[in-house]
Chain A
Amino acid sequence: MHKVVIPIGPQHPALKEPESFSVTLSGEKIMKFSARLGYNHRGIEKACEERTYVQDVYLTERICGICSHSHSTCFTQAVEEIAKVDVPKRALYIRTLVGELERIHSHLLWLGVAGHEVGFDTLLMYTWRDREVVMDILAMLTGNRVNYGINMIGGVRRDVSAEQAKAILKAMDTLEERTKYYIQVATQETTLIQRLSGVGILSHKDALKLGAVGPTARASGVNRDVRRDDPYAAYSEVKFKVITDDHNDVYGRTLVRMGELLESYSIIRQIVKKMPEGPIITKVPRKIPAGEATSRYEAPRGEDMHYVKANGTEKPERVKVRAPTLANIQTVAKMLEDRQLADLPIVIAAIDPCFSCTDRLTGIRQTGKRKKNVLKWEELHTYSITFYKEHGIDFTDLNKKMAKALK
C-alpha cells in the first residue's frame, strides 16, 4: 500500500505541548514513528551555572509546572549532600508530604487527560473536580497551587500546623473514597477496558532494554521505584507498596497510577502521624564547598536525576537534569509499532509526557529590521494592540464598554 508521512506538531490542536512527531502510515497502520524534541529547550542547565544556589532552587522548580517539587527537591538534595548539611527531620517529612501531594495531583490530572483522549470526558470532569481538593491543600500548605517554593537549601520554608494536618487527613479520606470509585470504574466499565487493553504494548523486555521509568515501566512488570530502592527524604521511615502490573499496556498504566494514588494517601497519613517536632531548616553558607553529587527522586512520571558539581563558589559549576519523560519517550516508538493511528493520542498520553521537563530559555525578542532589543511587558502589550489593529481587529470600543461596566 502507498505510504503516507504525517507530520504532527510542533504546533498541533491535539497536542498539549510543543513536540514534533513524524508518523509513516500504510493505510491506518503506523509503520514508523519518530519524534523530534527540543521545542521547549530553555537552556536551564546553562542558566543554573550563572546563578547562585539559592536562585537555582527556584529555577529548577520551574523546569516543570507539574512536578516542580520533584525537581527542586532533587536539586537541593544534591547540594545538601555536597555541603554535608544535616537537614532537620521535620523538613524531610514536609518534603515527603508535599512530594506525595504532588503525585496525587499529577496522577489525577493524568487520569482526566487519559479519559479525554479516549473520548470519556465525564472522567475528565470528575477527576479534575476531585483534583481541586489536593490543589487546595497544596495552596494552604505552601501558598501556591503549583511551583510551591517550599524547598530551601537546608530545609523547608513553611511549617505544617496542627489544623493543617487535620485538613490534610480529611482531604485524604475524601480522595480515597473517590479513587476507589475510579478503580471500580476502571475495572468494571467495559468501554474503558476495551479501549485501553492491548493498546500501546511495551513488553517487560523492551521496558528494561529501553530504560523506561516510573509508572510506564512498572506497568510492564518492572519492579523499580527510587523511593524504595534509593530512599531519600523520609521514605525510609514509611511503609508503602510499589505497585506493578503485567498488562504491559495503557490499561496497566492506568491501574498502576490508581494503585499509586492509594499508596500516596497511606504515605501521607503515616507522615502526618509520625512527623517529628523540631526545626524545619538549618543555616547553610552561601558558598558550597567543591564536590559533586548525584541525586535521584521518584517523580510522578518516574525517576528524575540531577547531577550537581560545585566549585567552592556561590554558583554551581554544572547542573545536569534528566527528567523522566526523556527516558520514556523512547518507548513510544516501540508502543506504536504496527498499531492504528487512532491509538496515537492515548499511547503518547499514557507515558504522561512532560516536554518542558525534558527540554529544559525563554525571552521574547523583537525580530525584524527596526529594533533588535528585548521587549518589556508594556511594549509587548502595545505591540499586540497595534498588531491586531493593523489586521483589522480593534478592541477600543469593547474596552471602553468594559471600563464603563466596571464602574
Chain B
Amino acid sequence: MTKTKEESLQGELIKNFRFLDGKITVSRPRRMSAEVPPANFREVLEYAVDKLSFTMLCAITGLDETANLAFIYHIAREDGIILNIKVAVDRNNPAIETITGLFPGADVYERELVDLLGAKVEGLAKGSRYPLTDDWPAGEYPLRKDWKKNDTKEVTNA
C-alpha cells in the first residue's frame, strides 16, 4: 500500500523531530494535528513552513484547558492539507513567541489572543488592541472559562 501524502508528511516530521512520535494524528484526508512542547514549537513551525510548504496561516485558535492555555496554529498547504500545531502553556504564565516574523499577517490574530485569553506574546510589536474596547478593564479575559459576562463593570457614558 502506498503512503498517502498526509502519512509521508507525518513521517517526515517524526524523522526530524523524534519527540513528535505518537503526537501526530491524521483525522481525515487533508487534516493533520500535532502536539508540540513549547520549547520546540519554533523549530517545528519553521520546518513545516520552509521544508514542508505549509505556507499559509489560516488562523490561531486559543483554548482554555483549565490548567493550561493552548494555542492551535492552523497552517495550510496549497493542496489543502491543514496542519494544526497545538502548544500548551501554563495558565499562570501563558507566554508564547510571536510568529509575525514568519507570517506578518499573524499580528491581528496574536492581538486577539492577548485580548481575549490573556496570552503573553513575546516580540509582538506595539499597536492598537484588538478586538476589545480601549476602556476594557485589565485582567478580564472573556474567552477564559472562569470568566462570566456579568463580571464586567457597567460602562457609563460621561
List residues of A whose CB falls within 8 A of some B CB: 34, 36-38, 41, 43, 45-46, 81, 208-211, 224, 226, 229-231, 292-294, 296, 303, 305, 307, 309, 317-318, 320, 322, 326-327, 329-330, 359, 365, 367-368, 372
Complex contact A211–B56 (CB within 8 A): yes
User: B83's closest neighbor in chain A, by CB?
Assistant: A294
User: At the interface, is chain B mostly helix, strand, loop or mixed?
Assistant: mixed
For B108, the chain A residues whose CB sits under 8 A away are 37, 326, 329-330
User: B147's closest neighbor in chain A, by CB?
Assistant: A46
Complex contact B57–A34 (CB within 8 A): no
The complex places the Cα of A230 from the Cα of B5 at a distance, in Å, of: 14
Q: Does any Cβ of A come within 8 Å of B98's Cβ?
A: no
- How many residue pairs bridge A and B at CB < 8 Å? 90
Q: Does any Cβ of A come within 8 Å of B82's Cβ?
A: yes
B: number of interface residues (CB 8 Å): 44
User: A326's closest neighbor in chain B, by CB?
Assistant: B108
Q: How far is the CB of A234 from chain B (nearest CB, A)?
A: 16
Task: Pick the 10 closest A-B CB pairs, nearest first.
Answer: A38-B131, A230-B80, A211-B105, A322-B59, A229-B80, A41-B131, A320-B61, A36-B128, A307-B61, A367-B156
The complex places the Cα of A229 from the Cα of B63 at a distance, in Å, of: 27
Complex contact A229–B79 (CB within 8 A): yes
**CB contact list, B91-143 vs A, under 8 A:** 103-109, 116, 127-133, 142-143
For B157, the chain A residues whose CB sits under 8 A away are 367-368
The complex places the Cα of A307 from the Cα of B27 at a distance, in Å, of: 14
For A45, the chain B residues whose CB sits under 8 A away are 116, 143
User: A317's closest neighbor in chain B, by CB?
Assistant: B63
User: A208's closest neighbor in chain B, by CB?
Assistant: B55
Complex contact A294–B131 (CB within 8 A): no
Complex contact B133–A38 (CB within 8 A): yes
User: B77's closest neighbor in chain A, by CB?
Assistant: A229
Complex contact A368–B156 (CB within 8 A): yes
Complex contact A37–B107 (CB within 8 A): no
Q: How far is the CB of A147 from chain B (nearest CB, A)?
A: 23
For B103, the chain A residues whose CB sits under 8 A away are 211
- The listed residue with most B CB atoms (<10 A of its CB), out of A330, A365, A368, is A330
